[in-house]
Amino acid sequence: MNHISRNILAKLLLNFWVVVALWLVQVLLGAITGHYQVEGSGFYGIPIDKWIPYSLTRSWHTQLGILWIATAWLATGLFIGPAVSSHEPKFQRLGVNFLFVCLLIIVVGSMVGQWFAVQQKLGHTTNFWFGHQGYEYTDTGRFWQIFLTVGLFLWLFLMARAIWPTFKTLKESRHLLALFLIASLAIPVFYIPALLWGQHSNLAIAEYWRWWVVHLWVEGFFEVFATVVMAFLFTRMGLLGLRTATTSVLFSTVIFLFGGIIGTFHHLYFSGTPTGVIAFGASFSALEVVPLVLIGFEAYENLTRSRARPWVSAYRWPIYFFISVASHK
């Protein structure tokens, strides 16, 4: 951690403050959206539906949920790279700053575009590219989706170049680091299905690819990334054996690569998928959280046995949060 410049640390910390802000706004929008079910057209007598109607608050609420989760894990990846390798590549600071500015542009730009779309101030084509596509969780305009895809690949480049020297120095962790990079690669790659339907595509086709994004990107490979990050941090802390960490991550990757796509089928009711296929997909989908739970269980066991160590007491709350993620799953 001492090898990460103060500027990068400050910018990454700012990312996490953005995460908190997005989360708070999402909660507020969720409350407003829920209140619309009671009052219909206002918020305790204030006719807010003239400015932010139900369709807009619901869209922002679901969109911000994806954005703050993604921002949190992307910032985590940018932190882990230099922290693990003790190496900060040239122009890394510039790249992190540029990525942060792009994040703000995407968040603000997409939300403004959706407001104009809901207010019927955009034409059909302009609406598709910059406004509201109308598909839940992937309703952002196509331009913003392309912008986000490019940003994700830039994030992958910044993280990979920072962690690459570690393959020469930490040979015992090489396999886990390789899995970390593979999980990181899956994040930008599996967002690409959001670009595979067009403005006039059939609903069944659009729904199929939409659930690739929701199930495999949001629910799937971010969970693989979370498993790898937690496994790597726990091994560095001495709370998890390297063999268990590598096995759990491999298990997780296999489940998502071979079962994740099948698991997507339990979402495809509106694409005319038969009941048997939906049930088959649901069975595979239920297995996705097993590796993360195994990691959390072993980390908790080791944490219980090592409470006497002074450093464990100092970091107990971050460790508790990591374990709670696994146990909650």
**Distance (Å, rounded) from C-alpha 256 to C-alpha 86?**
31
- Which of 170, 40, 151, 158 has the alpha carbon at shortest distance from 106? 151
Q: Coil, strand or helix: which one is 144?
A: helix
**Taking residues 189-210, what's their average pLDDT?**
90
When comparing pLDDT for 177 and 253, which is higher?
177
Specify the pLDDT at position 266. 75
Q: Residue 280 is part of which domain span?
A: 170-329
When comparing pLDDT for 260 and 138, which is higher?
138
**Distance (Å, rounded) from C-alpha 268 to C-alpha 210?**
10
Which of the four pLDDT bands, split at 50, 70 and 90, describes residue 264? confident
- Which of 56, 64, 76 has the alpha carbon at shortest distance from 15? 76
User: CB of 137 within 8 A of CB of 66?
Assistant: yes
**Is residue 261 a part of any domain in this protein?**
yes
**Taking residues 71-92, what's their average pLDDT?**
81
116 burial class (0-12, 13-18, 19+ CB within 10 angstroms)? middle
Q: Which residues of 304-327 are buried (b: 16+ CB within 10 A; e: fewer)?
A: eeeeeeeebeeeeeebeebbebbe
pTM of the model: 0.83
pLDDT tens by residue, 35-75: 888 888 878 888 888 889 999 999 999 999 888 888 888 88
pLDDT tens by residue, 272-308: 778 888 888 888 777 766 766 766 666 666 666 556 5
Which of the four pLDDT bands, split at 50, 70 and 90, describes residue 115? very high
pLDDT tens by residue, 26-36: 999 999 999 88
Q: What string of DSSP letters covers 219-268?
A: IIIHHHHHHHHHHHHHHHHTSS-HHHHHHHHHHHHHIIIIIHHHHGGGGG
pLDDT tens by residue, 146-184: 999 999 999 999 988 888 877 777 666 777 788 888 888
Cβ-Cβ contacts under 8 Å for 268 (sequence gap 6 or more): 207, 208, 211, 277, 278, 281
Helix, strand, coil percentages for the chain (3-state, nearest 5): 80, 0, 20
Which of the four pLDDT bands, split at 50, 70 and 90, describes residue 211? confident
**pLDDT of 13 strictly over 60:** yes
CB atoms within 10 A of CB 255: 21
**Is residue 218 a part of any domain in this protein?**
yes
Phi, then psi, of 47 in degrees rounded to 5:
-75, 65
**Distance (Å, rounded) from C-alpha 85 to C-alpha 4?**
10
Number of domains in the chain: 1
Return the percentage of the chain with pLDDT > 70, whole number: 82
**Is residue 56 a part of any domain in this protein?**
no
When comparing pLDDT for 167 and 326, which is higher?
167
**Is residue 260 a part of any domain in this protein?**
yes
**Is residue 36 a part of any domain in this protein?**
no
Specify the pLDDT at position 7. 66
- Please provide the distance, in angstroms rounded to a whole number, between the alpha carbons at the two ends of the chain: 29
**Is residue 209 a part of any domain in this protein?**
yes
Specify the pLDDT at position 79. 84
**Distance (Å, rounded) from C-alpha 320 to C-alpha 300?**
8
Cβ-Cβ contacts under 8 Å for 247 (sequence gap 6 or more): none
Return the percentage of the chain with pLDDT > 90, whole number: 29
CB under 8 A, 24+ apart: contacts of 233-238: 233/80, 233/322, 234/295, 234/299, 234/302, 234/322, 235/173, 235/176, 236/84, 237/315, 237/319, 238/302, 238/306
Cβ-Cβ contacts under 8 Å for 301 (sequence gap 6 or more): none
The mean pLDDT value of the chain amounts to: 81
**Is residue 207 a part of any domain in this protein?**
yes
